[in-house]
Amino acid sequence: MQGTVLDINEAAQTGLIKCDEGNRYEFALASWSGNIPPKTLDKVEFFVEDEVVKHIVPQGQVHSTAANQPNLAAATPNRPVETSPLAVVSLIFGILGIFIFGSLIAIICGHIARSNIRQSQGKLTGDGMALAGLITGYIGIALTVIGIGLVVLGVAFENMM
């Protein structure tokens, strides 16, 4: 069959395919036989046996049936996963971002890290750390602005009396 990859769930090591006839099938990433990891909207060819996807390849790639490849897991490329260094930097500066500069670094690194993680096709992790860095960075900026506002108000009221 031919179809399109609708979703990839790296954590569960599964994906979802919609075949050209409209049916949807969940598949294990271990059944992928392409040279590069699958990603959303990839066009694929696959075999279904008893409503279970057995073998998936990118569309147009020469492939054989599952019977000719008894160990599909061995054909799956190794995908090293590492934590995004920018996500770690974002989290650290978000936590320590008492001053506006630390918070700015946390926000900038957090946004860049989340973008890199989304584009890495599962090779980078740390989205939660980057998000935590963003949240704490924005909180640090807000507290700094509130603190400056209170100081300005205090000085204004001091001069009025």
- pLDDT single digits (tens) 19-41: 888 888 888 888 888 777 888 88
> Which pLDDT score is estimated for 65?
44
**Dihedral sign for Cα atoms in the order 37, 119, 20, 61:** negative
Q: What is the CATH number for 18?
A: 2.40.50.140
Separation of first and last alpha carbons in the chain: 82
> Which pLDDT score is estimated for 64?
46
Q: Which domain holds residue 61?
A: 2-75
150 shares a domain with 88:
yes
Q: Stretch 86-106: mean pLDDT, rounded? A: 86
Percentage of the chain with pLDDT > 70?
86
62 shares a domain with 32:
yes
- pLDDT single digits (tens) 52-91: 887 888 877 654 444 444 444 443 445 557 889 999 999 9
Of the three residues 27, 47, 75, the one that is the final residue of a domain is 75
pLDDT at residue 136 above 50? Answer: yes
> Which pLDDT score is estimated for 154?
93
> Which pLDDT score is estimated for 86?
92
Q: Write the CB contacts of 148 (distance below 8 Å, at least 6 apart in sequence).
A: none
